[in-house]
Amino acid sequence: ERRLFPKSVNVINKYEISKSEHLAFNLDNLVEQIRSKNPSVFLIHDIAGMGKSTKSIHLGLELKKNLTNFYVLRIELGKPKCIKILKQFKKEKEKDPMKFLQSFIKRNQFEEKLFEQLYNRGRVIFLLDAFDEIPKDYVETATEILKKLIRKNQKIKNQVIITSRSNCLNRLNEN
């Protein structure tokens, strides 16, 4: 299938979570869904300026507080560090998602080992913020890496959470 997201993907729009709240984004419910590991891929989307990145920061903190036996890796996809790494990966023939993700881990043996062990046990949560902010030149590379990550995680059940503007959802399902 050519779509980025398998049929089990949970698409979360702020209006679908809780229409009664001012921000309409219930972190407790989302943390519980993530804890249950079903589904393993989440997409948080909305229009520009509605606070998706702020929500992803709060979500990351909430996950670290409530799921202490998980490794939470938040990556800001539109930031210079990520763009530099995507630029390097664009040149590579085989785009290994683990190699990409490990580029964002603090470089010490303990943290690398911890990440690897928790990853293999399905205890890593990837919080990939601002897919819509990836420059056009690197969207295809990022999409390829995400597809491989999602496919690989179908069995292991690590969580993948992606934030994006709603108008970029088509980009996620192209290719």
Q: Which residue has the higher pLDDT, 16 or 35?
A: 35
Helices 27-36 and 52-66 sit at what angle, rounded to 10 degrees?
Answer: 60
E-strand ranges in 20-168 read 41-46, 71-76, 124-129, 159-165
Both tokens of residue 17?
């979570």
pLDDT at 82: 95
Distance, in Å, from the CA atom of 104 to the CA atom of 118, rounded to the nearest integer, reads 16
pLDDT grade for 12, boundaries at 50, 70 and 90: low
Q: What is the pLDDT of residues 43-94, one digit of tens each?
A: 888 778 878 888 889 889 989 998 899 999 999 999 999 999 999 999 988 8
- Half-sphere exposure (Cβ direction) of 14: Cα atoms closer than 13 Å: 20
pLDDT at 19: 32
Q: Are 168 and 132 in contact (CB under 8 A)?
A: yes
Distance, in Å, from the CA atom of 90 to the CA atom of 60, rounded to the nearest integer, reads 28
Distance, in Å, from the CA atom of 73 to the CA atom of 146, rounded to the nearest integer, reads 14
The bridge status of strand 71-76 relative to strand 124-129 is: parallel
**Sign, CA torsion 98/104/107/110:** negative
Q: Are 126 and 160 in contact (CB under 8 A)?
A: yes
Q: Which 3 state secondary structure label does DSSP give 157?
A: coil
Both tokens of residue 170?
């088509």
Q: Residue 6: which region, alpha, beta or left (left: phi > 0; alpha: psi -120 to 50)?
A: beta
Q: Are 125 and 74 in contact (CB under 8 A)?
A: no
Distance, in Å, from the CA atom of 1 to the CA atom of 175, rounded to the nearest integer, reads 10
Q: What is the pLDDT of residues 105-164, one digit of tens each?
A: 877 889 888 998 999 998 999 999 999 999 999 999 998 898 888 888 777 888 888 888
